[in-house]
Amino acid sequence: MKSISNEGKTALIVGATGLVGSELLIILLQSNEYNKVIIWVRQHTNISNKKLEEKVIDFEEIESYKIDNKVDHVYCCLGTTMKKAKSKDAFTKVDLHYPLALARWAKNKGVSQFLVVTTIGANANSMIFYNSVKGQLEEALCSLELNGLQIFRPSLLLGDRNELRLGEYTAAKITRFIPFIFKGPMKSYKPIEGKKVACTMYKVAKKEKSGAYIYNSSIISQIAENDSIS
């Protein structure tokens, strides 16, 4: 499908301070595709850029939030951990309820592309709580019938965080010392850099694909590596 020019368009990133979101913000601010990049945050980031518009919002009120600009693409990079959330209810609020509210807001605004990060193994029926919540989110998003829904399922993420996540730390060590493990059927489980996920999200958004699509980790990596950012 031929890319449609995004010149003069506006992007909204929610979750711009996380690993993928922060990488995505850099890419979008450096690109010529958007005239404006809006980020919704809980507290000020002190990031300065002429294209950037930062809004501190109450995430409990996402659906009622009003914005003057026409928003073309929404990038949802929200996510937390059980360690930070401290309860299943709090975790579900951040990883399911907030993204779903954002998607409903995006639909009401006529957004053409909604791009969201979930996880490899997302399945509403999973016995793993994390995967189950992500799967519930995917099912709920698909039921909204958004103009364009792009779901990204990365494996464990690699990159610099402000916090230590044991699973990601361990995966990074395994990848470094015994990379041959992630071959064949295990290819999709190979840890992936957050920057690659962000890069692929940006490239996919430019395609303006209608309908719902899911990108597993190996495909995310392939798209990031095979095409230059332009």
* Sequence-separated (6 or more) residues with CB below 8 Å from residue 136: 96, 124
What is the spatial distance between Cα 13 and Cα 19, in angstroms, rounded to a whole number?
13
What is the spatial distance between Cα 130 and Cα 80, in angstroms, rounded to a whole number?
10
Is 130 a residue of the active site?
yes
Identify the active-site residue in 65, 130, 189, 213. 130
Do 182 and 216 form a contact (C-beta atoms < 8 A)? no
Identify the active-site residue in 134, 196, 203, 206. 134
Tokens of 65: 């939030």
* Sequence-separated (6 or more) residues with CB below 8 Å from residue 10: 34, 35, 36, 37, 38, 69, 70, 71, 72, 73
Do 140 and 122 form a contact (C-beta atoms < 8 A)? no
Q: How many CB atoms lie within 10 A of CB 110?
A: 10
* Catalytic site positions: 130, 134
